[in-house]
Amino acid sequence: MSEEASQKKWVVVTGASSGIGKELALSLQQHGYTVLATVRTATDHEALKRLGLATLTLELADEDSVVIAIEAVRQRCGSQLYSLINNAAYGQPGAVEDISRSTLEQQFAVNLFGTHQLTCGLLPLLRQNGGGRIVNISSVLGLVAFPWQGAYNASKYALEGLTDTLRLELHDSPVEVSLIEPGPIRSQFRHNALHAFEKDIDWHHSTHHEHYKRITGYYSASDHPTPFTGTPADVMKRVHHALRSSRPQPRYFVTLPTYVLATCRRLLPARLLDALLRKLGAMR
Ligand SMILES: NC(=O)c1ccc[n+]([C@@H]2O[C@H](COP(=O)([O-])OP(=O)(O)OC[C@H]3O[C@@H](n4cnc5c(N)ncnc54)[C@H](OP(=O)(O)O)[C@@H]3O)[C@@H](O)[C@H]2O)c1
């Protein structure tokens, strides 16, 4: 560990080039943490460095990239690594029957396998810290399903399961584990999802062709957010609590849609919940 690390409380934030991750990185830095922000391009390295952040390259789909990032964090932060915030992810839209095996594998490679590999690699440092925090950014779609979101839904359900198990297993350790479950948040998410949709779904030849015309409209209209869309700052408030509280919550809901849909999931019979989710999905 470097001399520099011994005086600092380091936080690694993945996916800090835009949206929630960028807000988290900047806000945490302002609140006295030393942030190591992960990005994928030279342009994003430069942009974040200009904002005073230390950066690290991380491509979650690439096993070697994750190995290199783990070693870099070990060198830079050592046991002063206080928190890992697993934020980086993308949404792969498309009907379940139109998602190829390789497209589903790619979704899991980023949203689950890379995240899992990074977490396991950094866990020894968080343990040594004596009070480390793992914060996984999930989604309302880790709690309920939406039509046309099967790949993303599955990856976030899997992240929820893995995180819940990890929390149970770390109960007697100094490391706390929390999930953040945002509803719609203003970011580059829809823009990036549209890109994934156009790249990986052969929608012109799909049975769902007509529906997809509406979907592309929804994803293009990032300036017209759905009702109750929140901001990255709303996510930040919950992350601050997860990092500062002596008893961080296992789950943090963000935005009204998450509270409402989580309650519906608990109270409604499955068919009624399906009818509600179909209706909400049809608005997209
Ligand atoms: N926005 C929402 O409505 C919403 C709602 C619920 C949950 N979430 C969750 O919030 C988190 C942040 O999303 P966001 O809304 O801020 O979206 P965003 O603006 O698209 O940011 C996603 C970040 O993840 C990075 N990323 C994507 N693929 C990656 C990969 N293969 N390897 C490493 N990094 C990768 C992106 O980097 P590049 O710029 O290089 O692509 C970007 O920095 C995600 O976990 C998302 O699932 C978002």
Alpha carbon nearest to ligand 1 atom 7, residue:
139
pLDDT block averages, 10 residues each, the chain of length 284: 63 98 98 97 98 98 98 97 98 98 98 99 96 98 97 98 98 98 97 96 93 80 76 98 97 98 98 96 76
Question: Residue 7's pLDDT is what?
Answer: 59
DSSP of 12-60: EESS-SSHHHHHHHHHHHHTTPEEEEEESSHHHHHHHHHTT-EEEE--T
Catalytic residue, from 33, 152, 212, 219: name it.
Answer: 152
Q: What gap in Å lies between CA 104 and CA 102, rounded to an integer? A: 5
Question: Residue 150's pLDDT is what?
Answer: 98
Q: What gap in Å lies between CA 197 and CA 219, rounded to an integer? A: 10
- Ligand 1 centroid from CA 36, angstroms: 16
Question: Residue 222's pLDDT is what?
Answer: 59
Residue 212 is among the residues annotated as catalytic for this protein: no
Domain of residue 245 covers 4-282
Mutate to test the pocket of ligand 1, among 192, 258, 284 (most ligand atoms within 8 A of CB): 192
Question: Residue 3's pLDDT is what?
Answer: 47
- Ligand 1 centroid from CA 207, angstroms: 29
Place of tokens 């359900």: 157
Mutate to test the pocket of ligand 1, among 35, 108, 188, 195 (most ligand atoms within 8 A of CB): 188
CATH code of the domain in which 165 resides:
3.40.50.720
Extract the tokens encoding 180.
């953040």
Q: Sign of the C-alpha dihedral, residues 251, 256, 258, 263?
A: positive
Question: Residue 45's pLDDT is what?
Answer: 98
Angstrom CA distances, 280 to 92, 157, 162, 226, stand at 18, 19, 27, 11
Q: What gap in Å lies between CA 16 and CA 31, rounded to an integer? A: 17
Question: Residue 213's pLDDT is what?
Answer: 84
Strands (E), 143-277: 176-182, 251-254
In terms of Cβ atoms closer than 10 Å to its own Cβ (0-12, 13-18, 19+), residue 263 is exposed
DSSP of 111-160: IIIIHHHHHHHHHHHHHHHTS-EEEEE--GGGTS--TTBHHHHHHHHHHH
User: What is the number of domains present in the chain?
Assistant: 1
- Ligand 1 centroid from CA 189, angstroms: 6
- Nearest ligand 1 atom to the CA of 193 is 20
Mutate to test the pocket of ligand 1, among 187, 191, 194, 261 (most ligand atoms within 8 A of CB): 187
The widest CA-to-CA distance across the chain, in whole angstroms, is: 60
Query: CB under 6 Å to ligand 1: residues?
Result: 15-21, 40-41, 58-61, 87-90, 110, 137, 139, 182, 184-185, 187-189, 192
- Ligand 1 centroid from CA 269, angstroms: 32
Question: Residue 230's pLDDT is what?
Answer: 97
In the DSSP assignment, the letter for residue 95 is: -
Alpha carbon nearest to ligand 1 atom 8, residue:
139
In degrees, rounded to 5, the angle at the alpha carbon of residue 194 between the alpha carbons of residues 216 and 218 is 35
Q: Are 212 and 93 in contact (CB under 8 A)?
A: no
| 276: three-class secondary structure by DSSP | helix
Question: Residue 215's pLDDT is what?
Answer: 78
- Nearest ligand 1 atom to the CA of 184 is 3
Alpha carbon nearest to ligand 1 atom 33, residue:
59
- Ligand 1 centroid from CA 90, angstroms: 5
- pTM of the shown model: 0.96
- Ligand 1 centroid from CA 158, angstroms: 17
